[in-house]
Amino acid sequence: MSKKYFGTDGIRGKVGEAPITPDFLMRLGYAAGKVLVSEQRSHKGDHPAVVIGKDTRISGYMLESALQAGLSAAGVDVLLLGPMPTPAVAYLTRALRAQAGIVISASHNPFEDNGIKFFSGNGTKLPDQTEQAIERELESPLITMSSAQLGKARRINDAAGRYIEFCKSAFPNELDLRGMKIVVDCAHGATYHIAPHVFHELGAEVVAIGNQPDGLNINQDCGSTSPKSLQAAVVEQRADLGVAFDGDGDRLIMVDGSGEIFDGDRLLYVIAKYRQQRGQLKGGMAGTLMTNLGMEHALEKLGIPFARANVGDRYVLALMQERGWQLGGENSGHIICLDRHTTGDGIIAALQVLQALRVAKSSLSEYTSEVRIYPQVLTNIRVSKGFDFRGNAAVQQVVAEAQCDLESSGRVLLRASGTEPVLRVMVEGRDEEPVQRWAETIADAVRQAAVK
C-alpha cells in the first residue's frame, strides 16, 4: 500500500501549504495518538505519553501546539522537550519510557519548510505499516475524549542536560579532548545549546558558530550543507578541526586544520578502520547507492565487507539490521552507530571520529590517506511523470556503453526522484574526463528520450 503523506523521512512541506498546516497537524496528532498508543494503558486510569521535540524554526511553536491539541484530544499525555536534536528525541523517548516520540523539523531545508518525524517507543523510526495505519486513521473523524480522559502536557526542563550526558557517555572515560581547539557549527539549529557543551565538557576549547537561532536563520549559509563558514572559521581560529551539523543534528561533516572538508564517506571510513584495527567492528559497513566508489575500494583493501542500500538513512538502518552490522551511513553525513544509538546522531558520530584520532594521535587527512574519493558528477534532468528510463532502449544502450568503458573503475547510476519529476544521473570513476563525458552523454540521451 502506497502512502499519501509519509515520505522516506516523515511528512515534510512548506509551512502553510498542505499538509504542513495547523488543522492537519492537529488531526495527525489525534490519528497518531489513536494508533501509536492504542491499548498501551498498563493500569486503569493511566495515560500513555508521547514526547515532542522540535528544531529552531519559527513555525515550530504553531505546529507543536497543534500536535499537542490532537494528542490531548486522543487521551495522550504530552512531554514537551522544546528545541532538541532529532537523535535526542529518539533517546529521550526511550529514557522517559514514552510510547512514541515526535520531532518537528525539516532537517537541512530552509526555515520556510517544516516536517514531522516519528519514533517508536524503542527510539527507532516507525515501520511502514504503522505509518500506513496513521494515514488510515486520518480518514476517521476526530472525536474528542471526555474531559476526564483528556491528555495533559508538561515540559521536561532538564532535557538538554540529560542528552548532553548521554552524548558524553559515548566517549571513553579514559580519553579527553584537552589540548584540542574545535570549531562547532550548529547551523542555528537544534544543537545550538547542546553540541558546544558536549565538546567543552570533554575538555576541548570550543569556538561556537551558527549558535544564535532566531527562528528564520536555520541552515542559512551555515551547517553541514553549507560548510564555507566553518572552513573559514577553522583557518582563522587556527583550530585543530571543525564539526558542522544540520538543522536537526542528525548529519555531520568535519573540516581539518587546513580547511579541507571530510564528508560522511570519509568519516565512516575513520570509524570503520579504527574499530577493525581493535577488533571492535561487527561484520561490515552499510552505505547507499551514492556512497563513493573510492570509499568501497578503500574498505575492500582493509578487508571490510560493504553493502549498498537505497538512499535514505531508514534503508541503511534496515540493511544493517538485516545483516547484523553496527555501522553505516550516507555521504551526506548521516552516520549510524547502532552500538551507541538507535538512529543517526551527528554529535555521537563526531565523538567516534575524535576517539579514533586521539588514540591514533593522527589528523583526519593522515588517518584517511588511503581513501581516494573518485570524481562524481550528478545531473538532475526534468522528465515527464512516469518516464520509464529502464524500458527505454536508447537510454539503456548509452548506460551500457558507459559502464563498459568505465569497467570496474567506475559506476553509473540512474534513479528517479521520489518527490519531483526528475531523473538523477550519477557517473563516477577514477578519472575525471571520462566521468564528465559520460555524464553529459547519458544526460543528453535521457533528455531526447523524455521528450519523445
pLDDT (average), residues 229-255 = 98
Q: Give me the CATH number covering residue 418.
A: 3.30.310.50
In order of 37, 50, 78, 191, 193, the CA distances from 160 in angstroms are 26, 17, 17, 10, 8
* Residue 185 sits in the same domain as residue 102: no
Residue 4 lies in a domain: no
- Identify whether the C-beta of residue 186 lies closer than 8 Å to the C-beta of residue 221: no
Residue 5 lies in a domain: no
Residue after which a domain boundary falls, among 329, 345, 367: 367
* Residue 254 sits in the same domain as residue 167: yes
Cα gap 198→23, rounded to integer Å = 38
Residue after which a domain boundary falls, among 367, 398, 414: 367
Residue 1 lies in a domain: no
Residue 434 lies in a domain: yes
Look at residue 254 in the predicted model and tell me its pLDDT: 98
Helix (H) or strand (E) holding 135: helix 128-138
pLDDT (average), residues 406-425 = 87
Q: Which of 1-5, 181-185, 365-369 has the lowest mean pLDDT?
A: 1-5
Residue 103 lies in a domain: yes
pLDDT at residue 113 is higher than 90: yes
Q: Strand, helix or coil at 445? A: helix
* Residue 139 sits in the same domain as residue 216: no
Helix (H) or strand (E) holding 322: helix 313-323
Q: Which residues contact 379 (CB under 8 A, 6 or more apart)?
A: 424, 425, 426, 439, 440, 443
* Residue 64 sits in the same domain as residue 120: yes
In order of 145, 169, 202, 346, 375, the CA distances from 354 in angstroms are 50, 14, 11, 12, 27
* Residue 174 sits in the same domain as residue 295: yes
Cα gap 426→381, rounded to integer Å = 11
Look at residue 9 in the predicted model and tell me its pLDDT: 82
Q: Name the percent of the chain lying above pLDDT 70.
A: 98
Strands 181-185 and 422-429: unpaired
Look at residue 118 in the predicted model and tell me its pLDDT: 95
Residue 51 lies in a domain: yes
State how many domains the chain has.
3
Look at residue 408 in the predicted model and tell me its pLDDT: 85
pLDDT at residue 102 is higher than 90: yes
Look at residue 45 in the predicted model and tell me its pLDDT: 54
Tell me the per-residue pLDDT of 296-337, one tens digit each, with 9 for 90 and over. 999 999 999 999 999 888 899 999 999 999 999 999 999 999
Average pLDDT of the chain is: 94
Look at residue 42 in the predicted model and tell me its pLDDT: 45
Q: How remote is the C-alpha of 158 from its chain's centroid?
A: 24
Look at residue 401 in the predicted model and tell me its pLDDT: 95
pLDDT (average), residues 140-165 = 96
Residue after which a domain boundary falls, among 157, 174, 201: 157
Cell match 516519528: residue?
118
* Residue 316 sits in the same domain as residue 442: no
Q: Domain containing 42: what range?
A: 11-157
Cα gap 29→335, rounded to integer Å = 29
pLDDT (average), residues 148-160 = 96
**Predicted model pTM:** 0.93
Q: Is 107 a catalytic residue?
A: yes
Look at residue 43 in the predicted model and tell me its pLDDT: 45
Residue 6 lies in a domain: no
Q: Give me the CATH number covering residue 143.
A: 3.40.120.10
What's the grid cell of residue 429? 570513476
* Residue 149 sits in the same domain as residue 194: no
pLDDT at residue 44 is higher than 80: no
Residue 54 lies in a domain: yes
pLDDT at residue 127 is higher than 80: yes
* Residue 187 sits in the same domain as residue 249: yes
In order of 94, 282, 330, 419, 423, the CA distances from 382 in angstroms are 43, 42, 25, 12, 6
**Catalytically annotated residue among 107, 120, 229, 332:** 107
* Residue 317 sits in the same domain as residue 184: yes
Tell me the per-residue pLDDT of 162-206, one tens digit each, with 9 for 90 and over. 999 999 999 999 999 999 999 999 999 999 999 999 999 999 999
Tell me the per-residue pLDDT of 422-445, one tens digit each, with 9 for 90 and over. 899 999 999 999 999 999 999 999
* Residue 290 sits in the same domain as residue 172: yes
Q: Which of 32-46, 334-348, 379-393 has the lowest mean pLDDT?
A: 32-46
* Residue 183 sits in the same domain as residue 100: no
* Residue 356 sits in the same domain as residue 407: no
pLDDT (average), residues 93-102 = 96
